[in-house]
Amino acid sequence: MRRALNDARVRTIGFVALFGLTAYADTAAYAHAYPTLHSRILFADSFVHNKAIVLFYGKAYNVLTAGGYSAWRVGGTLSILAAIFGLLGAVRVLRAEEDGGRSELVLAGAVSRRMQFTCGLTATMTGALALGVAEFAGLRAGGLAAAGSAFLALSSVIAVPVFAGIGAVVCQLAPTRRMAIELGGGAVALAFLLRVLADTVGGAGWVSWLTPLGWAEQLRAFTGEQPVVLLLPLAATVGLIVLAQHLNTVRDIGTGLLTSHDTAAPRLRWLGSTTAQAFRLELTSLMWWIGGVSVFAFIIGLIAKTTASGGIPRRLQQELARFGTGGVSKPADYLGLVFVSFVLVVALFAVSQVAALRHEESDERLETLLSLPVSRRSWMSGRLVLAATAAAAISLCAGFLSWAGATSGGANVSLGGLLQAGANCLAIGILFIGIAALLFSLLPRRGTGIAYGLVVVAFLWQLVGALLDVPRWVRDLTPFAHLGFAPAQPFRASDLLVLAAIGLVSAGAGIRYFVRRDLVGA
């Protein structure tokens, strides 16, 4: 269990920081932006009844109090992140260990399959406890009561054990880690879709009882708590874990109950080079990234006009101006602010592409590939070019689809301005591709985790620095501080060229060091 906790420490620390800062920032911003009952009523009329807003945050029961607002905004956001955390944690400690051949070594000792299974899930549950404590601390720092804060934190993280149970089940069904993540990701998407259906379609409120994300809403933190609803996630978690444990005992290590075919017709497309082969292997994942970003971008564009003209109080305008937006009075201002989230997504995607290189090396597939007439330099260069091209595709889709959504919603926003916002994403993507590549070459086992940590720290540095009014030179230490909030603010082409150049130099150094070092296993 200590081994599993140690392996997950970077991901856990990142989520803990995100939970704590989100809880504090949203709660404190509400108290400052809406100090009077009149301003809160205006806010409720402008936002809470907008179905496009409800789609993201869920149903609001009472936003006239700071607690009710936090239950809606903080709880609605963090419950989804908790579901993702639970799924990834379970798949990592159960399926990834098998794919890497490490489970067989552990089970050859004095550790039983039941003990290995139990310790892996216990480590994930321990992570859930850390998330809950961080959220509780953030809510308390924002000025909310202790009892209500504790119940809201519990409401948010209750999705972790449920989706850890789902992750445990799909690990028994899927023959590979990739398929387990795809099946579990489908379960998260279905749970979110059911919650959206329940909150936005008239007469479909009963559907919220069919999804764990709906159960989090039904707990009603700060708005008439219903602790009896906790019996649903408790029963679901126990049932899923018992089922997963049973399936774990009836299948062979390294296989899944959904067996793959031993033979298949040859498909030779995209096998002409190592880069084309990588594109073929990553195509499904890439389509998921592009599809998710495109849908989100279109919806953000669709609600831009409503959000910007929704009567945002002057106090909130002042708070938002700290991020360099100059306020949110026009759709372009709103889109410029929201596009920071797309920059973060592209940065995480960039690191994930370099992480795929590490998986090939740790799984010893790279040794076989390099035994062919393939050079290390051409292999890594091709993969990094593929990663940069994919990041460009995601950035372009984010800019174009947000413009299409804004146009459909009646907002007058420049396509060129939003494509410039997409260029912000691409520059940051190239920067982190280079940094992650260099870390991959210098620190093969730890480099990917450090790269993910750098992305999270850089983003939180910008967020916290803006909220706390730290000196400008301190905020400038993060690359996120050098982005112009296009289309609302001037496009900083020179700054982006510098960031991209740093990424390219880092990538070149990473390729050079990779050519000279030995391959390192898991």
368 versus 427: which is more confidently predicted?
427
- Does residue 160 register a pLDDT over 90? yes
Q: How far apart are CA 282 and CA 277, in angstroms?
A: 9
Q: Which of 233, 257, 281 is where one domain is finished? A: 257
Whether 263 is covered by a domain: the verdict is no
Average pLDDT, the chain: 84
Positive or negative CA dihedral for 293, 296, 301, 302? positive
Claim to verify: residue 244 and residue 319 sit in the same structural domain: no
pLDDT class for 522, splitting at 50, 70, 90? low
Same domain? For 337 and 306 the reply is yes
Q: Which residue has the higher pLDDT, 224 or 109?
A: 224
Q: How far apart are CA 458 and CA 431, in angstroms?
A: 12
Total Cβ atoms within 10 A of residue 236: 18
Residue 312 lies in a domain: yes
Tokens standing for residue 401: 């689809």
Whether 431 is in a domain gets the answer yes
Domain-ending residue, one of 193, 223, 257:
257
502-519 residue pLDDT tens: 999 999 999 999 999 988
Mean pLDDT of 178-194: 85
Give the pLDDT score at 215.
93
The answer to whether position 485 is within a domain reads yes
Would the pLDDT of 275 be above 90? Answer: no
Q: What is the CA radius of gyration of the chain?
A: 23
Both 217 and 284 in a single domain?
no
| Domain-embedded: residue 1 | yes
| Closest CA relative to residue 427, chosen from 397, 392, 459, 396 | 392
Asked if the model's pLDDT at residue 358 lies above 50, the reply is yes
Q: Identify whether 266 is part of a domain.
A: no
Q: For residues 252 and 279, state if they share a domain.
A: no
Say whether both 177 and 314 belong to one domain. Answer: no
Domain presence at residue 264? no
What does the buried/exposed string (b/e) look like for 98-133 if buried means 16 or more CB atoms within 10 Å of the residue's CB? Answer: bbbeebeeeeeeeeeeeebbebbbebbbebbebbbb
Q: Helix axis angle, 493-516 relative to 415-442, nearest 10°?
A: 30
What pLDDT score was predicted for residue 126?
92
Model pTM?
0.72
Which residues neighbour 457 within 8 Å (Cβ) at sequence distance 6 or greater? none
- Whether 16 is covered by a domain: the verdict is yes
For the segment 423-446, the average pLDDT, to the nearest whole number, is: 92
* pLDDT tens digits, one per residue of 124-159: 999 999 999 999 999 999 889 999 999 999 999 999
Whether 295 and 164 share a structural domain: no
Residue by residue, DSSP assigns 347-411 as HHHHHHHHHHHHHHHHTTHHHHHHTSS--HHHHHHHHHHHHHHHHHHHHHHHHHHHHHHHHHTT-
What percentage of the chain carries pLDDT values higher than 90? 30
Asked whether residue 288 falls in the same domain as residue 242, the answer is no
pLDDT at 285: 81
Between 140 and 97, where is the model more confident?
Answer: 140
Among the listed ranges 137-151, 188-202, 261-275, which one has the minimum average pLDDT value?
261-275
Assess whether 162 and 288 both reside in one domain. Answer: no
**Residues 297 and 168 occupy one common structural domain:** no
Strand spans (E) along 245-305: none
- Which tokens is 250 given? 């009836």
Same domain, 363 and 233: no
Tokens coding 449: 């985790």
pLDDT at 261: 59
Give the pLDDT mean for 370-392: 90
Q: Which of 206-220, 305-319, 368-382, 471-485 has the least mean pLDDT?
A: 305-319
Question: Each residue of 438-447: pLDDT tens digit?
Answer: 999 998 888 8
CB 431 within 8 A of CB 507: no
Position 311 confidence tier, pLDDT thresholds 50, 70, 90: very low
Give the total number of structural domains in the chain: 2
The DSSP symbol for 442 reads H
Q: Is the pLDDT of residue 86 over 70?
A: yes
Residue span of the structural domain in which 387 resides: 271-522
Q: Which of residues 38 and 389 earns the better pLDDT score?
A: 389
Q: What is the mean pLDDT of residues 192-220?
A: 86
What is the model's pLDDT at position 167? 92
Direct distance between the N- and C-terminal alpha carbons of the chain, in angstroms, rounded to an integer: 18
* Residue where a domain stops, chosen among 211, 227, 257: 257
Min mean pLDDT across 43-47, 64-68, 191-195, 440-444 is at 43-47
Query: Is 259 exposed, middle or buried, given 0-12, 13-18 or 19+ CB atoms closer than 10 A?
Result: exposed
Q: How far apart, in whole angstroms, are the C-alpha atoms of residue 506 and residue 492?
A: 22
My answer on whether 249 and 282 are in the same domain is: no
Do residue 435 and residue 494 come from a single domain?
yes
Distance, CA of 30 to CA of 40 (rounded, Å)? 9
